[in-house]
Amino acid sequence: MHILHRLQKLPYSRIYWLAYIVIGLSMLTVALFYQYQLEELPCVVCIQIRLWFSVLVIVGILGYLLRKHSLLNMITQLGIVISAIGLVERSYLLLGTERGFIFSDCGFNAGLPQWFAIEQWLPWLYQVEASCGYTPEILFGVTMAEALMLLSICMLLVCVTIVSVTLASIFKN
């Protein structure tokens, strides 16, 4: 019971939302390091993953600012779940393309609507520069696609657990 009480309070804490902001900013920083220092150019799926991490940061900031308001807190928690689902789906596509169990058309167009031309506004962060096929090794033979898959699944499990506990406490009262 004690752990459930702590989980119920977690989304109202600063540290919970700061964790998502830090994770998102850290992943964007790692991506830029690989792009500009190690010259590993991003493919379209990599850019889409960067966009999901950017959404995670934005929702994390909103969650931090709105954490005291129950309804808005729940909405931002659902935003984190949506971000995590998007990350899982894009990471799976990246891993599948790398491993060859998914065959997809991976060109140089991010597939975004014209009104959202973020690759033109911030090309240093969101411009597609390579075709899909492989991701660099991060550490101990683990590729970036494998690491992203593991991270996004863990994040999804954590945020779904937190949302479930929060919803259960709301319906219990």
Residue 129, pLDDT score: 77
What secondary structure does DSSP assign to 149-167, as a single string?
HHHHHHHHHHHHHHHHHHH
Structure tokens at 171: 């319906």
Q: Are 66 and 73 in contact (CB under 8 A)?
A: yes
**For residue 112, what are the CA distances in angstroms to 41, 44, 169?**
19, 11, 38
Q: How far apart are CA 76 and CA 131, in angstroms?
A: 34
Q: How far apart are CA 74 and CA 78, in angstroms?
A: 6
Residue 108, pLDDT score: 62
Domain spans in the chain, listed from the N-terminal domain onward: 13-172
- The model's pLDDT over 133-156, given as tens digits with 9 standing for 90+, comes to 777 888 898 888 899 999 999 999
Structure tokens at 131: 């075709």
- The model's pLDDT over 59-80, given as tens digits with 9 standing for 90+, comes to 999 999 998 998 898 899 999 9
Residue 30, pLDDT score: 94
Number of H helices, E strands in the chain: 7, 2
Q: How far apart are CA 89 and CA 113, in angstroms?
A: 20
Domain 13-172 superfamily per CATH:
DsbB-like (1.20.1550.10)
Residue 63, pLDDT score: 95
Residue 173, pLDDT score: 61
Residue 3, pLDDT score: 78
- The model's pLDDT over 87-139, given as tens digits with 9 standing for 90+, comes to 999 999 888 887 767 666 666 666 777 888 888 888 888 888 777 777 788 88
